[in-house]
Each structure stands twice: as structure tokens, then as C-alpha cells.
Chains A and B, each alone.
Chain A
Amino acid sequence: MATDVQDVLGESIKRVEDPRFITGHGRYLDDIKLTGMTHLAILRSPYAHANIKSIDTSAAKSMPGVLAVIVGADIPYNPLPMAWPAGGSSGIVNNVNMPRVLATDSVKWTGEGVAAVVAETPEQAIDALEAIQVDYEPLPAVIDAEKATQPGAPQLHENAPNNVVFTWPVGDKDGTEAAFKDAEVIVKQRIVNHRLIPNPMEVRGDIGLYNPGTEEYTVWMSSQTPHIQRLLLTAFVTGIPEHKVRVIAPDVGGAFGTKIFCYADMALVMFASKLVGGGRPVKWVESRRESYGSTIHGRDHITYIEIAGKKDGEVTGLRVKTFANLGGRLSTIGPGIPTTLYARVLSGCYKIPNVYAEVTGVYTNTTFVDAYRGAGRPEATYVVERAMDLFANEIGMDRAAIRRKNFIPPDAFPYDNPSGLGTAVNGEKIYIDSGNYEPALNKALIAADYDDLAKAKAEAKSRGKLLGMGLSTYIEVCGVAPSKWIGAVGEGWGAAMWESSNIKVHLTGKVIVTMGTSPQGQGHETTYSQVIAHELGVPMDDIVVQHSDTQGTPFGYGSYGSRTSSVGSTAAIKAADKIRDKARRYAAHMLEASPDDIEVIGAEYRVKGSPEKKKTLQEIAFALDLGFSLPTGMEPYLDETAYYDTPNCTWPFGTHIAVVEIDEETGDTDLIRYLAVDDVGKKINPMIVDGQLHGGIAQGVGQALWEQAVYSDEGQLLSGSMMDYALPRASWLPSFELDETVTPSPVNPLGVKGVGEAGAIASTAAVASAVNDALAPLGIRHLDMPYTAQTVWRAIQSAKGGPA
């Protein structure tokens, strides 16, 4: 190690994970083969709503290879826990109904688990499922969240009248009412943010292994949150002591939020492993089709927007009523998504003085809904961006100009937004701490040739195409979250949200960093190495980053909510600070100098004024780890742990512009250009940032144009496979044109904000804006997504007076 080690922070270093991922040497859940492995399969309800009258497992039990057939009544565990009721300390009633490990009395959606088979092979387990006889009493179903709250709708749960989970008001009701009374212009619109199926490349799965000798369990799971799952599974579900369970998330092949949660199958493999053969390992891996019905869905809001303002474009009020579909029972943090992560940021990057929202969480006979990439913030962005467009069109103002007029100005930060971010807890305040929105907008408009839009539309029209350009000026809440705000007394999340890091510099000078966060393909091993290489002055090759195993990593809350770079990296820097401090004190001991006289240059610890008197970190680690000679009171080993609770979230922002062309005859809609100017603060690895933006934009575009979960009125998932659920494909997308502005976050020493969700948050609204812009000349004011060919064609026909 020397001072000439290249500083890799901020460089587009190739990902250290990729050699194993792209050469087939990753180790995902289903790659794990254990001696004596057995296989579990779950029988899932074919009905969206039914009472279970009886279950006959006798035939299945005698099928070849079958070791056990399990029904809900066999399992002494509690239902899954609700970790985030809506409303925190505000006294909001949440009518909570959680899934059991297997349903006992009734099923509430097609795909809810009813029975399970453990067999010697996966084939035998699946064959035996067909031999289980369940006597169902079918009940009427309801799938639409708004209809479910109407009188006469089928009722799902006794403790939830009208299927309401909660009703959560936020903001200033009276002030907003007054603003509407004084308004020169009011625009109203009902919009639907339709349901999505997340589709990570690797589906979910778990392996349970019980050791009867130690009474300990090891659970492998494809998870974003191994520490949280151990806590939830022990303290809330199984009653097994926490220290008797080890949870490991191996390589995780994508998640998009779906793997944050506590699922029934996790407890099921634990129960089954103890049941069969006194501790044989039990593996469950969902099929893609099974995943479509039993892993969480995203979005699914019906929202009534009202926006008020003046004819000169000043927006003075925003009033929103949202029905949030949460499914047949609740997922782990289902209610937290359409409340804290949605309604609290409804006004986005605009200084709208009066905002009031009322969110109703609703049970329906559908798969449970929880956090999916962006989680609440794409829904909020869609609402406020559509509202701004509608308002601009109503008063005949340019869509860019209305945004410029209403932006929170750069000198207004920290900004206390009116939908209640700042009113959280015990007098503690959360602010939008930084931003400078107009430069990003201007940059994007110039790159998109916004001023020549009319010309482009005319040219397209001559080819039979309707061209539209859409704007989305978004903000994001990243780096979730200060515990004092998000925690139980504030927003209702039943825990803290700090992060942790341990750094060890071993005898040979090699560095092992263990993290409480847990990656799903983002490249944490690369970016943390870059940060620690920068902090300690060691080459990246001398650092390994370990994670995702409750044995050997400090407790952490995991990776979601674009929190890893902000909260996780800061924990790592705090641990590095401690390492450097101890190394400095030990260098002083070695060099017979005062610690205050030691200066640190990269990995060299020098006596000020005598640069030839120096020790490298490697020399310090070797001596200190052996510990033959220690100053009084100093413990051997260079081994430090830090926990870090962020004082605020981070607030990325930017402008995205989409350009679409619609075939006027068919409604077929193509995205022909996509530009994004994002401000995610400083970047640890710009290539990884670009990759996150690309993926996020593609997913958001997918929602706007192609993806949609469709249920029949009886609650059958009609878009139940990739043959009917259209995921975006590379060939359907233009090459994205990315640019940036850089406003460092004041919250953390790196100035980073987070980027995992930005693309998905911004792009759906941008494409929606573009399609509606393209259709505006036909007199169409608003069209709901997704803009499939048929939907757009029908709108065009209807506008032209044809068949509706």
C-alpha cells in the first residue's frame, strides 16, 4: 500500500460481482444443494374468495415420495406480522388481517396457500398437490378498491366494515378548502394507477434446515432483509428464540421490493424441516406462475385529483382522495406505502401551499400489494404531474412554464412541505433539504428540442402519426429513513431504520467489510469497496465486502428505498473513521509520537514535519493485530463497528422527457425518444448509476405502455403469466439520453442521494404526459394507463365519434 493507490471513488469501475454473475458462478437460492434435501410445494386456492369447509390429505399422503402433507391447522405459529400500520401515533385505526402460514378457515385471493406437501423430489411434491381434496364454499368476490367500499360489496373480513383497512387524512383540510374557495380555476380528474406484477429475474424461494442436536434453524431465503426476517419470524411468527435462527440471503437475482417482506413460505420451510426426518433440509422455490399470484403486487390506486389555482399559473391547492388496493390480506408493510411514502410527498417539487389528501386502504380479493420499485412515490409523482399538466392545459399555459412558476425556489430549502413531512415526531422535523429544479428542466428541454415540438408534431402527422412529448419533473425521497421520523412513534414503521458496518483490517492488511445492507444485484460489493478504498487508501483488490448473513454481519435493516448508498455507505465511512483513528493512535505508538502529530495521507500515517517517519496501514494492522506491543488501554486488532442513523432522507430530483408516436389508425404507441436529467448528488460509480436509471426508466415505461395485472370480476388473474403480462423488451425502447446536474446532498459525507428508484418514479408520468399530449389535438383530456394499442385506439375512435 502506498500513497499512489488510485482513488476509485466516483469512477466507473467495472462491477466486482459480474465475473461470477455472468459466468454462471453466482450462487442463488435454487443453486444450493444440501445433503438429504427435500422439496416443498404449496397448494394454492383456485378461488378468489371462499370458505374452506374441509381438506382431505389422505390420498396425497400415500403418493410416492411424499414425506408430509401439511395444512394450516397443523402449524402452531402466529399469522404473519403487520410491521407498518398507517398513521403511526396519530391514532388511525387499522383493521388488520394478516395471512396465516397456511389458510385455515377461508381464502381471500387466488394463490393464497392452503396446504403443502414435502416430498423427496419437486416432481413428487407437485404431483401430490393434485391429490389433495379441498372442499371450498365459494363466496362472491370484489377486486376493485373503490367498489369494495360501496354498500352491498362482498365483505372480506368481519373486523373491516366495507373492506376498509384504514382511512388516513394528511395535510390541512380547512386551509385547502379555503384555497379552493378562493381559486380562479379548479380542475378535477379521476385517475387510475393500475396494478403491476414486479417480476424480478429470480423468483422467490427458501430453504429451512433444523438441527435437532442444537435446536437451531438455518433459513436461506431470497431476501432483501435477512436480519428483519429473522426478527419477524422469531419474535412474531414462530416463537422460536431469535438466537436459535440464522438467516442467509445468498446471491439475490433482483427483487424490486418484493423480497423485503415476511412471507408464509419462510415459516413453512422451518416448520417442515423440523417435521420431516428430524431435520432434513426443505426447499421451496416458487414457479413464475405461482409468483404471479403469491408474491406481492404493486401500485393499484384509484385517485380523485382536484387542483386549484390562478389563471396566471400559480397553483394554490391540491386535494386528493385515493383508494389504495391492499389485497385480500395485508403484506408486511402494505399500509405504509400509500400513506407515508405517497401522501406525504404529493406536492412533489412544487410549492403548493395547501395540500390535503385522504387515503383509504382497502381489502379486495386480489394478491396483497406492497412496495414495488418506487413504492408510493411513483404514484405520488403520477398524481402531481398529471395534475400540473391538466391545470396547464385548462388555462392554456405551457407545461414547462407552469412547472417553472411553481417550483420550490432554490433559496427556500430546507422546505417544510404542507402534506406533513415536517410534522412527524416529538417536534422533530423532516425537510426537503436541498434542490435546484430549474437547471435540470432547462437542460432537458434544450436537449429534447422542446421549442420545435409543433414542427415535430406536424412532420409526424404527415406520416399518419400523432407525436407527443411529455414532461415529468420529479422528486424522490431516498435514504430512508431517520428512525425518529419513520419509527413507531412517528410514521408507524415498527422499527428503526439505521444502518451498520464492520471493518476488519487483518494481519496481511487485507480488509473485510461486513454490512447490514443486503444487495439484490445493485453492485454493493463494488461501490462499498470504492468508498472504503477511498477512505483507507487501500486498493479495491484488497477489500472484500460481505453481507446478507445474520451470522457474521451486524444487524441491519437491509436494502430498499434507495437507502444503501446514503445510509449504508455513511455507516461504512463511520467505521472507517474509527479504523483510521485507532490506526493513527497505534502509529503514534510505533513511531513514538503524539497521535495529534500523525497525519494520514492515503494509507500512510506520517509524523508531521518528518515524512520519512511513517507506517503504512498494512504495517500498523500487522503489529496491532498481533498485539505484542500495545499502548496502555488499547485492545489488539483493527476491528471497528459503526451504526449510523441518518438525520434526514435525501431528495433526488430531475426532469424526464418522453417522446411518443401513436399510429392513428391502430393506436399502437411507440416510445421514440427518452431524455433524463437527474440530480442524484455525487456518484460513487457513475456506470452503476446509469444502469440503475436505465432499468428504472424501462420499468416505468413498462407500466405506462404495456404492463398491467388484469383480474376477472370473479378474481381470476387473467394476466397470470408472461404470455399475458407484457414486460418491457430492450428492442421496444430507444437509447436513453441521460444527463445530470449535481447538487450534493447535505445529509451525508459523500453527498450521495440514491438512485435505485428514480427512473421508475419519473418515467411513468413522463410517458403518460407524452401520450396525453399526443391525443390532446383530438380533444382528449386524460387517458388512463397502460396505453396499449386497443386502449389508445378506442380513445381515438371515441374522440372522433366512432365506436366507443
Chain B
Amino acid sequence: MIPASFDYQRAKTLDEALGLVGASGTKVIAGGMSLLPLMKLRLAGPERLVDIGRLKELKGVRKLDDGRLAIGALTTYSELGESPARHYGLIRDALPDIGDVQVRNRGTVGGAIAHCDPASDLPAVLLALDAEIVARSKRGERVIPVDGFFKGAFETDLAEDELITEIRLIGARDDAGSAFKALSQRASGYSIVGVAAVVIKEGGDTITKAGVALTGVGGVPYRAKAVESALVGTKGDAAAIAAAATHATDGVIINGDIHADADYRKAMAEVYTRRAIEAAISRLG
């Protein structure tokens, strides 16, 4: 459990970091909670690590003028849980099951997203919230809609020379309810199936907008748009939820491993989609 040797550079400013990333053989390290285990197992062997972990400008959660929430990429899970983001039901649900205390104290929101583990919970949370990801390179800044950002296992829309600086969430609103429900793989704690659900009933008791995303099921966390559209326009009663949940894996190539084969994941995707939507609606008050 000793990594191969590598060069190490710690960036002191964001500009310095942007000058270092993108070179071949270079990996960015923040909290290191995903990368370091891979390096110790010698499954990853970068020639050079650029440590951005101390860039203060990428830390913290702030409220934007339009009410949205901006989460600095280097905000740890623990910091997120103590920030205004804790008022989002699905974030409150998801955080305690991510890693353990040590991982949550070091692992960062930006790191989790850039790493894009197919069973990571946070990408599903952001997909359901229809978040925006802000990335910067020497070439400039761009705002990436989260839908489409996750390309495949450990693969995102991020260019080699780009760093995530911020994640923006819709503002909290009284007519929204959200939840995250997961069946965890007992050994790793990763989700066999994790479902994030956001339901909005704008000005009445009919669902006007829904965000439902799954992790652990396919090659990459994804939005279940067929579920969302089946929900919109209904009142969110048990029958409507159950019918919508049957679409949880539409068009998805489902994973299988020693803990859960594809049949089981498919069945659980439906069960947990239903349970997450039910929980989200129950929080609408």
C-alpha cells in the first residue's frame, strides 16, 4: 500500500494552479480521498500531483444575489453540511452516508464531481438540483450545466487544463421538497442504488417540476428524465409515483458486480426512486 514515486507541487494561488494543470501526467489533488487510495493500490500512477487543497478562494458557501447558492469547489463535505446547503433535504440525507468522518472532513465537493465515480452520491444530488458547474482555465471561465457534465465512469466534460471553481444550486424555496435515498453496498458504503429527488409544486398541488437522478446504477450518475416527465402534471399521489418510478432505468445499461447484479439493481432503482420521490413530496409540508 505504497504509491509509486511522483512529483508534487502545491499551488499557492488559483492562477498558479491554472498554470500547472493540463501538463501530461499531471493529476490535481484536493482532499485526496479518492485519488490517494488508487495511487496506494497502484491503480493510478500520476507523474506529478498539483495540490490545490489550500486555495482559500475556492472554499466556502455563499448566497448569490439571485438567491442561488454558490459552493466553492474546495468546500469539504463536512463544511457543506454546516453551510446553508444543509437546508436542502437531499443534501442533508446524502452527506452522512458519504465515506466516514475522516473522508467527510477532507473530501471536497469539487473533487467528488471531477473524479466522477459512477457510484458517487453527490453527482446525483447535483443532477436532481439542476446545478451549474463553474470551471476555469487560463483560457477563461465557463458555466457548464450539470446535465451532460458527467460523461462516463471517471470521465467529465472538464478539459485537461480546467479546474472546477464553484458549483451553483437553485435557491431554496418553500414549494420544493427533496430527498436522497440509497441502498448502500455494505463494505464500501458506496450506493448500489442512490436516488436524488427534487419535486416542485408551483402555486398549487400539482407537480410543476421534478428532478430525479440516480447513482450506482449505470456507468455514470444520470437524470431519469422519463421519471421526471411522468411526475410533472400529477398530484404526486402513490399511484403516480409508482408509475413514474417504473421508468427509473429507461435506456440505461445497468451495472452488475458481486454485490448486486443488473436485475437486482434494476429492481432497486425502481423501489428507491419511488421511496425518494415519496420522501421528497412528504417534505413539501
- Residues of A whose CB lies within 8 Å of any CB of B are 122-123, 126-127, 287-289, 665-666, 668, 706, 710, 718-719, 721-727, 732, 788-790, 793-794, 797, 803
The reply on B238 being an interface residue by CB < 8 A is: no
A723 x B5 contact (CB < 8 A): no
Q: How far is the CA of A722 from the CA of B192 in the complex (A)?
A: 16
A666 x B2 contact (CB < 8 A): no
Q: How far is the CA of A726 from the CA of B183 in the complex (A)?
A: 14
Closest 9 CB pairs of A and B: A726-B186, A726-B187, A723-B188, A287-B1, A790-B264, A710-B258, A706-B186, A718-B258, A126-B2
A123 x B2 contact (CB < 8 A): yes
**Seed contacts A287-B1, A666-B183, A726-B185; 13 additional CB < 8 Å A-B pairs:** A122-B2, A706-B186, A719-B258, A721-B41, A723-B187, A732-B186, A788-B186, A790-B259, A790-B261, A790-B264, A793-B264, A793-B267, A793-B268
Smallest Cβ distance from B257 to chain A, in angstroms? 8
Smallest Cβ distance from B44 to chain A, in angstroms? 15
A724 x B2 contact (CB < 8 A): no
Given contacts A724-B259, A726-B187, A790-B264, contact A665 B271 (CB under 8 A): yes
Smallest Cβ distance from A307 to chain B, in angstroms? 33
Q: Which residue of A lies closest to B189 (CB)?
A: A723
Q: Which residue of B lies closest to A668 (CB)?
A: B183
Given contacts A665-B271, A726-B187, A788-B186, contact A289 B263 (CB under 8 A): no
Give every chain B residue within 8 A of A666 (Cβ-Cβ).
183, 268, 271
Give every chain A residue within 8 A of B172 (Cβ-Cβ).
none
Q: How far is the CA of A581 from the CA of B183 in the complex (A)?
A: 66
The reply on B226 being an interface residue by CB < 8 A is: no
Interface residues of B in 122-148 (CB under 8 A from A): none
Could you list 10 examples of A-B contacts with CB < 8 Å?
A: A127-B4, A666-B268, A724-B259, A726-B185, A727-B187, A789-B192, A789-B264, A790-B264, A793-B264, A793-B267
Give every chain A residue within 8 A of B267 (Cβ-Cβ).
793, 797
**Chain B, 251-269, contact with A by CB distance < 8 Å: what is the 0/1 string?**
0000000111101100110
Q: Which residue of A lies closest to B275 (CB)?
A: A665
Smallest Cβ distance from B247 to chain A, in angstroms? 18
A289 x B1 contact (CB < 8 A): yes
Interface residues of B in 39-53 (CB under 8 A from A): 41
Q: How far is the CA of A710 from the CA of B5 in the complex (A)?
A: 32
Smallest Cβ distance from B262 to chain A, in angstroms? 11
Give every chain B residue within 8 A of A790 (Cβ-Cβ).
259-261, 264
Given contacts A790-B259, A790-B260, A794-B264, contact A123 B5 (CB under 8 A): yes
Given contacts A724-B259, A790-B261, contact A127 B271 (CB under 8 A): no
Q: Which of B41, B186, B258, B264 has the most CB of A within 10 A?
A: B186
A288 x B258 contact (CB < 8 A): no
Q: How far is the CA of A540 from the CA of B41 in the complex (A)?
A: 47
Q: How far is the CA of A706 from the CA of B186 in the complex (A)?
A: 7
Q: Which residue of B lies closest to A706 (CB)?
A: B186
Q: How far is the CA of A695 from the CA of B271 in the complex (A)?
A: 35
Smallest Cβ distance from B123 to chain A, in angstroms? 19
Interface residues of B in 64-104 (CB under 8 A from A): none
Give every chain A residue within 8 A of B185 (Cβ-Cβ).
726
Give every chain A residue within 8 A of B186 (Cβ-Cβ).
706, 726, 732, 788
Smallest Cβ distance from A630 to chain B, in angstroms? 60
- Residues of B whose CB lies within 8 Å of any CB of A are 1-2, 4-5, 41, 183, 185-188, 192, 258-261, 263-264, 267-268, 271
Smallest Cβ distance from B167 to chain A, in angstroms? 27
Give every chain B residue within 8 A of A724 (Cβ-Cβ).
187-188, 258-259
Q: How far is the CA of A124 from the CA of B261 in the complex (A)?
A: 40
Smallest Cβ distance from B171 to chain A, in angstroms? 34
Q: Which of A723, A788, A790, A803 has the most CB of B within 10 A?
A: A790
B5 x A289 contact (CB < 8 A): no
Smallest Cβ distance from A459 to chain B, in angstroms? 21
Give every chain B residue within 8 A of A794 (Cβ-Cβ).
264
Q: How far is the CA of A727 from the CA of B267 in the complex (A)?
A: 26
Smallest Cβ distance from A797 to chain B, in angstroms? 8
Smallest Cβ distance from B115 to chain A, in angstroms? 15
Q: Which residue of A lies closest to B100 (CB)?
A: A729
Q: How far is the CA of A668 from the CA of B188 in the complex (A)?
A: 16
Q: How far is the CA of A732 from the CA of B97 in the complex (A)?
A: 13
Smallest Cβ distance from B58 to chain A, in angstroms? 29
B187 x A725 contact (CB < 8 A): yes
Contact of B5 among A127, A706, A797 (CB under 8 A): A127
B2 x A289 contact (CB < 8 A): no
B1 x A288 contact (CB < 8 A): yes
Q: How far is the CA of A722 from the CA of B187 in the complex (A)?
A: 6
Smallest Cβ distance from A724 to chain B, in angstroms? 5
Smallest Cβ distance from B4 to chain A, in angstroms? 7
Q: Which residue of A lies closest to B274 (CB)?
A: A665
Give every chain B residue within 8 A of A122 (Cβ-Cβ).
2
Q: Which of A289, A666, A794 has the most CB of B within 10 A?
A: A666
Give every chain A residue within 8 A of B261 (Cβ-Cβ).
790
Q: Which residue of A lies closest to B267 (CB)?
A: A793
Q: How far is the CA of A690 from the CA of B263 in the complex (A)?
A: 43
Smallest Cβ distance from A684 to chain B, in angstroms? 36
Q: Which residue of B lies closest to A720 (CB)?
A: B41
Q: How far is the CA of A534 from the CA of B214 in the complex (A)?
A: 64
Q: Which residue of B lies closest to A728 (CB)?
A: B186
Q: Which residue of B lies closest to A287 (CB)?
A: B1
A803 x B258 contact (CB < 8 A): no
Smallest Cβ distance from A662 to chain B, in angstroms? 14
Smallest Cβ distance from B150 to chain A, in angstroms? 21
Smallest Cβ distance from A786 to chain B, in angstroms? 10
Give every chain B residue within 8 A of A726 (Cβ-Cβ).
185-187
Give every chain A residue within 8 A of B183 (Cβ-Cβ).
666, 668, 789
Smallest Cβ distance from A42 to chain B, in angstroms? 14
Smallest Cβ distance from B153 to chain A, in angstroms? 16
Give every chain A residue within 8 A of B4 (Cβ-Cβ).
127
Smallest Cβ distance from A644 to chain B, in angstroms? 43
Smallest Cβ distance from A669 to chain B, in angstroms? 11
Give every chain B residue within 8 A of A723 (Cβ-Cβ).
187-188
Smallest Cβ distance from B280 to chain A, in angstroms? 18
Q: Which residue of B lies closest to A804 (CB)?
A: B263
Smallest Cβ distance from A540 to chain B, in angstroms? 37
Q: How far is the CA of A164 from the CA of B110 in the complex (A)?
A: 55
Q: Which residue of A lies closest to B193 (CB)?
A: A666
Smallest Cβ distance from A798 to chain B, in angstroms? 12
Smallest Cβ distance from A712 to chain B, in angstroms? 9
Q: How far is the CA of A609 from the CA of B263 in the complex (A)?
A: 86
Smallest Cβ distance from A396 to chain B, in angstroms? 34
Contact of A289 among B41, B258, B271 (CB under 8 A): B41
Give every chain A residue within 8 A of B260 (Cβ-Cβ).
789-790
Q: How far is the CA of A781 from the CA of B155 in the complex (A)?
A: 46
Give every chain A residue within 8 A of B264 (Cβ-Cβ).
789-790, 793-794
Q: Which residue of B lies closest to A791 (CB)?
A: B264
Smallest Cβ distance from A482 to chain B, in angstroms? 42
Give every chain B residue within 8 A of A788 (Cβ-Cβ).
186, 259
Smallest Cβ distance from A715 to chain B, in angstroms? 14
Q: Which residue of B lies closest to A732 (CB)?
A: B186
Q: Which of B4, B259, B260, B261 has the most CB of A within 10 A?
A: B259
Give every chain A residue within 8 A of B188 (Cβ-Cβ).
722-724
Q: How far is the CA of A790 from the CA of B2 in the complex (A)?
A: 34
Smallest Cβ distance from B42 to chain A, in angstroms? 8
Q: How far is the CA of A364 from the CA of B97 in the complex (A)?
A: 38
Give every chain B residue within 8 A of A718 (Cβ-Cβ).
258
Smallest Cβ distance from B110 to chain A, in angstroms? 23
Give every chain A residue within 8 A of B263 (Cβ-Cβ).
803
Q: Which of B41, B187, B192 has the most CB of A within 10 A?
A: B187
Smallest Cβ distance from B255 to chain A, in angstroms? 13
